[in-house]
Structure 1
């Protein structure tokens, strides 16, 4: 038992990650598993950084590939179309809800370049400082696109990421409510090159 137990190197890695997933899952549900019984804080952080990197490379944009986020193009285009139909009056629902897992949300948030959800670097040692899976997709992660109509009849939109308003347009860090026309133009530019042309063919 202990140090003498005949685990291979790969088995040790698999067991450490399995323990981490159980501990992290408990913490996500506000259950204190007393993680210190199983690992030190530096060990816990190291295991988190491995899982964080896995999520980043598999489900977000990176200098290696934009494919994960590009696969969200059809979803983003559908969100734009749905919002536009609410503005022009053809969609009279007061709310439209969609459900998706974290694996759906991470690529979408990256494609939209939402703050904290899009990070491109060639120095992967910095990923854990700038792209944090527990902030991008915490338990019950969500995006709200809130359409507002002014007395003038003009439409505005606010984006709430995980219950907090976020600026949509890069370079405008305090602009939370923007004209729908500006948001639509920006989101359309986020779509991969040639996407709309391929849709029309």
Structure 2
């Protein structure tokens, strides 16, 4: 522990004097932004109504890396440069820092972190607190996840926060449902768009506009000798900087794990290798890629939005099912950023449906840290009065968004029949039939 403390002080001193990133905001985190609990819910429920049903879909909680640091290009490049005596003093510090992160991440990759579990337990507790009547009696709750372990862990954490609040409940399965939750993996047209879509040129233009090649050159020169940098291709430098930025964003999710491994936050302060302007610039690239690949992009009816149709259909159908038979009190789904972002755009929530060119939109009209932070979620809360009328409240990250073109019956509350008609019209506009086989739709959608 003494050696670790000495290393921590030395590392912090060297890095802090090399770049002034310690005072930067965390706006650069993008999709790695930690979930922010909203203020107390003071929205007035219309007289005579009470919540009776919940439709929920959420992104997994704050997580570890999806692959070990040793599997990243940056690790191999540093090791190779070290063997060639081509690391600068700062390069040696980076090597030590990557080694610390590797120890922190050992056995944890692909999993949610302690922070992630805490986020989800908090969301579950607020869901119950704000809608206790949904969970009276013996509520039946369905749970769906994807094939990724972090979504099952997220479901477990959520239920850990919810179940102690329930006097008696029935949890129905924790099944994998990739059709409605990993639709982006099942659509050939989307996979082709991801690989060859026009967004790639837009992103390349943005990188040129932001002088990313020069930025990569400047950053690489901090860690490697001049001769070594000359032998690195532009792509090598780009991947190196991308990996370094990725490490800088992930460590905010790992506070407890860093402590448990016997280190301090300074020991993995990768953000300190950048200036604030550099962090902001690299973040703009990340946000742009999310916007064009997962969000509204330049076409609100584009393939990157159309693919969310199966999940919207599921929300409509399960809400109707509750109204018809009252069997299921809550549907809980745990998924990914690639699930939440296109659904938010398809639902026209706030500015998630805004389109524009990269010069107009980046971090202005659409911010990934606000739309799809870690543990991002969309909730439909159904309310009923004694006359059998239904209202719906739609929440994005536990806040009330505006829905352009849908008129509320009361502030933040919509007639269910109006919501249903609005979204069926939306589905038809993108060529989806709410009564069709959604797996077939994914295979056929263009």
TM range (shorter): 0.7 to 0.9
Using the TM superposition, give the Cα deviation of residue 34 of structure 1 relative to its aligned residue in structure 2, in angstroms. 3.8
Greater RCO, CA 8 A, separation 6+: 2
Q: Distance in 2 between matches of 1:169 and 1:57?
A: 21
Q: Find the partner of 1:60 among 292, 295, 300.
A: 295
SS of the counterpart of 1:116? helix
1:117 to 1:40, Cα distance in 2 relative to 1, 3 A: same
Per the alignment, residue 42 of structure 1 pairs with 277
1:59 touches 1:107 (CA, 8 Å); kept in 2? yes
Using the TM superposition, give the Cα deviation of residue 167 of structure 1 relative to its aligned residue in structure 2, in angstroms. 3.0
Q: Find the partner of 2:316 among 73, 80, 99.
A: 80
Q: Deviations over 1:23-45 (max 9, x none)?
A: 11223556865455210111001
Q: Does 1:184 align with 2:420?
A: yes
**Which sections of structure 1, spanning at least 5 residues, go unmatched?**
none
Per the alignment, residue 236 of structure 2 pairs with 11
Q: Distance in 2 between matches of 1:183 and 1:167?
A: 13
1:183 to 1:169, Cα distance in 2 relative to 1, 3 A: farther
1:144 touches 1:159 (CA, 8 Å); kept in 2? yes
1:145 to 1:29, Cα distance in 2 relative to 1, 3 A: farther
Q: Which moved more, 1:74-83 or 1:169-178?
A: 169-178
Q: Does 1:27 align with 2:262?
A: no
**Which sections of structure 2, spanning at least 5 residues, go unmatched?**
1-86, 89-220, 257-264, 441-446
TM-score (norm 2): 0.41
Q: Which moved more, 1:92-101 or 1:138-147?
A: 92-101
Q: Does 1:143 align with 2:368?
A: no
1:118 to 1:30, Cα distance in 2 relative to 1, 3 A: farther
Q: Does 1:124 align with 2:361?
A: no
SS of the counterpart of 1:195? coil
Q: Distance in 2 between matches of 1:171 and 1:147?
A: 16
Q: Distance in 2 between matches of 1:95 and 1:165?
A: 19
1:82 touches 1:91 (CA, 8 Å); kept in 2? no
Q: Deviations over 1:139-176 (max 9, x none)?
A: 10111100000232210010111111223344769831
Number of equivalences: 199
Q: Which structure is higher in helix share?
A: 2
SS of the counterpart of 1:157? strand
Q: Deviations over 1:67-89 (max 9, x none)?
A: 0110111211111111111122x
